[in-house]
Amino acid sequence: MKTLELDLETFSDVDLLSAGVYPYAESSQFDLLLFGYSVDGGEVQVVDVVNGECIPDHILKALTDDSVLKYAHNASFERICLSVYLRRHYPEYFRSYSIPEDSVGGYLDPAAWRCTMVWAAYDGLPLSLRNVGAALHLDSQKMDEGKALIRYFCVPDKNGVRHYPAEAPDKWEVFKQYNKRDVEVEMAIQQKLSRFPVPEAVWDEYHLSEEINDRGILIDMPLVEQAVRIDALTKTALMTELQNLTGLENPNSVQLI
């Protein structure tokens, strides 16, 4: 095995856009739903993880085999999510790129990963998988049903309730096709852009950026918490003073002023 193309569908109670992939994947509610993959450009397989199907052993081993290049669109998401998944469910397969005491010790080595979003950006193309496919006029395009299916299966509803495949089996079958199609589109992008490769020096920069993100920064949380507290107290005191001076219920209101 030389390459492994990947796409995941996942669930978490943490909002991905506002919190980022690390809190999203580290949530106790994080769950891997679908695991779409292709080995060396072959037929795409979809593993229905949430319904009890198992990722094959040779694929699990490949995830920590640095000689196998892993491709995904916005590969940071797949790498971090699979890092957490392996640590929780297959610790015997998990291997990082530093000592456990290092903050990067909980994540897969980014050096073995390639991102088609970075590849597209380097060649002056849009970033989203849908827009890259449209710009390259691919025969396989991202399925339009995806957004609604993600809202249904991948995030809690407005009441905080999670929906499972058994509640909507027809939707779930379409979702599996959506996962498969995404891998097919990623592979088609690679084929189209194969004549315009990303230099290794740029991949080195990408890997360094990923390592910086994995390591994060140290924050003095007591200082942050007290700063937030002081800000709230100050705002309350100033608002009271402004109300006394102006006689306005809300001195911040432009209309009242």
**What is the pLDDT, as a whole number, of residue 57?**
97
The fraction of the chain above a pLDDT of 70, given in percent, is 98
Least reliable range by pLDDT among 11-15, 33-37, 195-199, 235-239? 235-239
Tokens of 203: 């991949």
Rounded distance between C-alpha atoms, residue 235 and residue 232, angstroms: 5
Residues 6 or more apart whose Cβ sits within 8 Å of residue 15 = 24, 155
Question: ∠ CA 44-45-51 to the nearest 5 degrees?
Answer: 150
What is the number of alpha carbons within 13 Å of residue 239 lying toward its C-beta? 10
Q: How confident is the model at residue 250 (pLDDT cuts 50, 70, 90)?
A: confident
Long-range Cβ contact pairs of 106-111 (< 8 A, separation 24 or more)? 106/214, 107/79, 107/80, 107/83, 107/214, 108/63, 108/64, 108/79, 108/82, 108/83, 109/64, 109/66, 110/79, 110/206, 110/207, 110/210, 110/211, 110/214, 111/66, 111/207
Asked whether residue 255 carries a pLDDT value surpassing 80, the answer given is no
The confidence score (pLDDT) of residue 180 equals 97
Q: Residue 241, SS3?
A: helix
The pLDDT value recorded for residue 227 is: 96
Is residue 246 predicted with pLDDT exceeding 70?
Answer: yes
Instruction: State yes or no: pLDDT of 192 exceeds 80.
Output: yes
What is the value of pTM for the model shown? 0.86
pLDDT tens readout for residues 66-99: 999 999 999 999 999 999 999 999 999 999 999 8
- The mean of the pLDDT values for the chain is 94
The whole-number average pLDDT for the span 109-117 is 97
116-138 average pLDDT score: 95
For helices 169-193 and 146-153, the axis angle rounded to 10 degrees is 130
Q: Check whether 254 has a pLDDT greater than 70.
A: no
Model pLDDT for residues 16-33, shown as the tens digit of each residue: 999 999 999 999 999 999
Strands (E), 57-129: 69-72, 113-115
